[in-house]
Amino acid sequence: MFDHLGLHVKDLGTSVRFYEAALKPLGYVLCSQDESSAGFGPKGAPALWLYADRKAASRAHVAFSATSHSAVGKFHQAGLAAGGRDNGEAGVRADYSLNYYAAFLLDPDGNNVEAVCLK
């Protein structure tokens, strides 16, 4: 349904470091960056855009696909190490589905960022 999405962030450098670390285990990379924005996605195909905005007050929920339970756990660990806050450690979310394995972080701006594996 979506081609890309954008989040407004207060500190672009801090957010870039967080997303680089958290998204690496999922196979996503920093594709593009300048002083006002940064794009992440598969190499050469940015789909998540961060826009510098000192007045940012976003509280979005973004879920990224993961290929394995291990990748979900690594996403959570790497995101915590890069300044994210725990919003739900890796595990089955049986209230969603018996095969819904996910972890949740709050990014530096308070957005709820999730990695989910449906295997």
- Please report the pLDDT score of residue 2 as a whole number: 76
Q: What is the pTM of this model?
A: 0.92
Q: What is the pLDDT of residues 27-68, one digit of tens each?
A: 999 999 999 999 999 999 999 999 999 887 778 999 999 999
Look at 10 and 1; give whichever has higher pLDDT. Answer: 10
Q: What is the pLDDT of residues 62-100, one digit of tens each?
A: 999 999 999 999 999 999 999 999 999 999 999 999 999
DSSP string of 87-103, one letter each residue? SS-SEE-TTT-TT-EEE
Domain boundaries, the chain: 5-52+60-117
Q: Which of 47, 43, 19, 20 is nearest to 31 (CA)?
A: 43
Quick one: average pLDDT of 6-10? 94
CA 83, CA 73: separation in Å to the nearest integer? Answer: 16
User: In this structure, which topology does domain 5-52+60-117 adopt according to CATH?
Assistant: 2,3-Dihydroxybiphenyl 1,2-Dioxygenase; domain 1 (3.10.180)
- Please report the pLDDT score of residue 55 as a whole number: 86
Torsion sign across C-alpha atoms 18, 60, 10, 49: positive
- Please report the pLDDT score of residue 1 as a whole number: 65
CA distances from 116 to 18, 35, 36 (A): 18, 31, 29
